[in-house]
Structure 1
């Protein structure tokens, strides 16, 4: 097995093998959920701190065309974007540009006008944005007309009353994550896609991770499917695109869930976090920053989407493994995506697990039989 060493400038990245091993149990598990018509295909990756332990493709990226899934197939990873956003915030905290304990209004003056339903002033912190405890309402549908930047989005968020006292409740909140990303833009002086490209994607060699796929990348995006009541798979669009092509830049960079990526790309990000913020001799975050964002910061708040969890800063943290999470260790952290994608890092076992699929209508993508089959086979 001949390794390929990826290099950007003088920065040597960790190696990914051209022909990584395939774990038969994992491949068999994915074949079964494909045969059961839960998904059309998958790319799965398991790695430790030094190398891939498993990298496999199963099924099809397009059922009708019988296009086999490829290792470089691109997926909409949806909310797997959130840990990337959390990492960006921590980079700015390390640079002394912010503290996660700071009020958002320190950096975004429009948030000084934030109020609750009774018209009383409300203050939220960056930490609350990343732990889904702000009480901010979502901005949806027609309310997003004309919004093409994170800056455009902020007045729309502030115009809606806060639903509950910040810090008193956990409620999954897209606007909070986007607000945190806007703070990164302000303190860094860069737009969010540009910041991520410069600080993470280029140095890590994540060449296919983007909010805005090119035409060439779009040709490699795995087709999304929904499962019908009859148990068949039919094509389903990406819900956030509306009637716009995937290559359109006429949308704001959804820091809450807008990234596209490949298994190997996201594996590089996951391995860097698994190694405590370092990869290929380059340090992206200090170990204490990684620990802060990947340990529970939500206190005793009851969180979702599966039982036994808490929340870090942009990351879900598994406190008490059970059910679909039973195969991983306490303290495992990661995130799922709306169309079934999953990435989890087990610091006890020293492994990262990435599963990319594109299924639109899981009742709960974090509790899917596909995730459970993968994690049970990968343990």
Structure 2
């Protein structure tokens, strides 16, 4: 994988400036073609315009021929070059790192570029398209955070509330003081866990197994509440799917609606996210891109989505706020456009501007967080604190989230750019630090951020 990354770095160094130079050359060629056409036209008028009437007819024929030649030349010379992003993603497809991708670069108002490369299904050689759905996994988490802050705006909660205020089953929790092979020593935590701790992964809440297939959020939350905390709340960062799922249960209790219904009504429908769902219907299921991982020889082999034990369309499957959604690149673009617009979409305000700022500012102080160097955590969102490595092309304050199978969505408030990368690739040692992610983001930044 290191070789792939190295090849990409040398590739971008040689093609980044070349792309811009090619665009200038194309413009010059087109201008020359236009100039030659006008010279030929004036020549035909000068030398033939003084003849008999039939000469005028001949000139018109000549003009038609010249116009056709010009249009052909203009079409050849003015053809948009292959984008740097497309070239970059094709390298990874050709090297069988991924089967295919859908990428988007946008700003708060419009789509700037959409590229589809490779295939969504290797067995059928089904070309990747913008309509393909992907399991976005933990990219679901920011949407759960937005749901919670919507309830705060309504005065139904504060993120500083103890979780037990809204979910009494969390009263009297235990915390691990000492863990050894032959014993487990527990004690009471110095303070209860808070909603803020759940949003920032600093609660200490341990991940738990689902009590049964197709558990409800109420059942998952009850199991989490009876599991000892891994550490005292607020002192360190530890990624917790259980914490985000607990947020979903809080939404249900305080709104009186199922989490999936609240999400649909308050975010998905207003943002026009028509292909974002916990349960792809039969038509959508046919458009779900296959997941692949490398085999022992480096070839891509199909892999199952480990989260799901039943049909993708099984509506009894738990709608996990921590990672259950499927979506498209276009839908994720619309969500982040709403965020960059300060909570407004299509003229409708979903969030206050100050709420968007709270969601997307660093909330973890100096606590070291994952998954890559220089990161911090907002309220459900990852936030770039110091751009390094895979985030070096971003501005401080860029926010977003990645998914287990290497999907990524990020918004850079300083440059105004949105980056969406949809792939389905298992087996990266760190999906947030994959060479594919860095390559896409760098190519997009080189093309649009400068």
What is the TM-score with the length of structure 2 in the denominator? Answer: 0.77
Q: Determine if the alignment matches structure 1 residue 225 to structure 2 residue 292.
A: yes
Is structure 2 residue 117 aligned with structure 1 residue 58? Answer: yes
Displacement of 1:102 after TM fit?
Answer: 0.4
Task: Find the counterpart in structure 2 of residue 297 from structure 1.
Answer: 363
Q: Which segments of 5 or more consecutive residues in structure 2 lack a partner in the other structure?
A: 1-79, 177-185, 446-450
Distance 2:294 2:87 in 1: 21
Per the alignment, residue 252 of structure 1 pairs with 318
Distance 1:95 1:86 in 2: 15
Q: Which runs of 4+ in 1 moved over 6 A?
A: none
Q: How does 1:171-182 map to 2 (within 5 A)?
A: 171-182=238-249
What residue in structure 1 maps to residue 88 of structure 2?
29
Aligned to 1:123: 192
CA distance, structure 1, for counterparts of residue 296 and residue 392 of structure 2 = 29
Pair 1:137-2:206 in alignment: yes
- Alignment length (residue pairs): 356
Deviation of 1:160 (Å): 0.9
How far did residue 23 of structure 1 move? 6.8
Q: CA deviation at 1:22?
A: 9.1
* CA displacement at 1:251 relative to structure 2: 2.2
Contact 2:170/2:226 (8 A) holds in 1: no
CA contact (8 A) 2:120 2:127 kept: yes
Evaluate the alpha carbon distance shift between residue 22 and residue 205 of structure 1 in structure 2; reply closer, same or farther with a 3 A threshold. farther
Q: CA deviation at 1:159?
A: 1.5
2:345 is the alignment partner of 1:284: no
The aligned counterpart of 1:42 is: 101
1:231-246 correspondence runs (5 A): 231-242=298-309, 244-246=310-312
Higher relative contact order (CA 8 A, sep 6+): 1
The structural deviation recorded for 1:229 is 2.8
Pair 1:192 & 2:267 matched: no
CA distance in 2, matches of 1:23, 1:294: 34
Preserved CA contact (<8 Å) 2:172 2:188: no
Give the aligned partner of residue 172 of structure 2.
113
1:245–1:363 CA distance, 2 compared to 1 (3 A)? same
Shift in Å, 1:248: 1.2
1:316-354: CA deviation from partner (whole Å, max 9, x where unpaired)? 000111111111111111100000000010000011110
Residue 168 (str. 1) matches residue 235 (str. 2): yes
Cα deviations by residue, 1:23-55 (Å, 9 ceiling, x for unpaired): 700011110111111110110011111110011
2:278 paired with 1:211: yes
In 2, Cα distance between the equivalents of 1:36 and 1:114? 50
Deviations, residues 203-229 of structure 1 (Å, cap 9, x unaligned)? 211111011111111000000000123
Question: How far off is 1:146 after superposition?
Answer: 4.8
Instruction: Say whether the 8 Å CA contact 1:226–1:235 is kept in structure 2.
Output: yes
Query: What secondary structure, in the 3-state scheme, does the structure 1 residue paired with 2:293 have?
Result: strand
Instruction: Name the SS of the counterpart of 1:226 in structure 2.
Output: strand
Q: Cα RMSD over matched residues?
A: 1.3
TM-score (norm 1): 0.92
Q: Which residue of 2 aligns with 1:346?
A: 412
Whether the 8 Å contact between 2:89 and 2:440 is mirrored in structure 1 is yes
For residue 149 of structure 1, report the CA deviation from its aligned partner.
1.4
Per-residue displacement from partner, 1:223-277 (whole Å, max 9, x unpaired)? 00001231110000001012x1111123211100100000111111010001111
TM-fit CA distance, 1:120: 1.6
Q: How does 1:143-154 map to 2 (within 5 A)?
A: 143-154=210-221
Whose Rg is larger?
Answer: 2
**For the residues of structure 2 that align with 1:361 and 1:157, how far apart are their CA atoms?**
28
> Does the residue aligned with 2:136 lie in a helix, a strand or coil?
strand
SS of residue matched to 1:148: coil
- SS of the aligned residue for 2:363 comes to coil
- Pick from 136, 159, 169: which aligns with 1:77? 136
In 1: Cα distance, 2:391 partner to 2:444 partner:
12
Deviation at 1:56, TM superposition (A): 1.3
Q: CA separation in 2, counterparts of 1:294 and 1:364? A: 23
Q: Which consecutive residues of structure 1, in runs of 5 or more, have no partner in the other structure?
A: 1-20
Taking the aligned partners of 1:65 and 1:92, their CA distance within structure 2 comes to: 45
Q: Distance in 2 between matches of 1:22 and 1:270?
A: 28
- Contact 1:113-1:158 at 8 Å conserved across structures: no
1:97 alignment partner in structure 2: 156
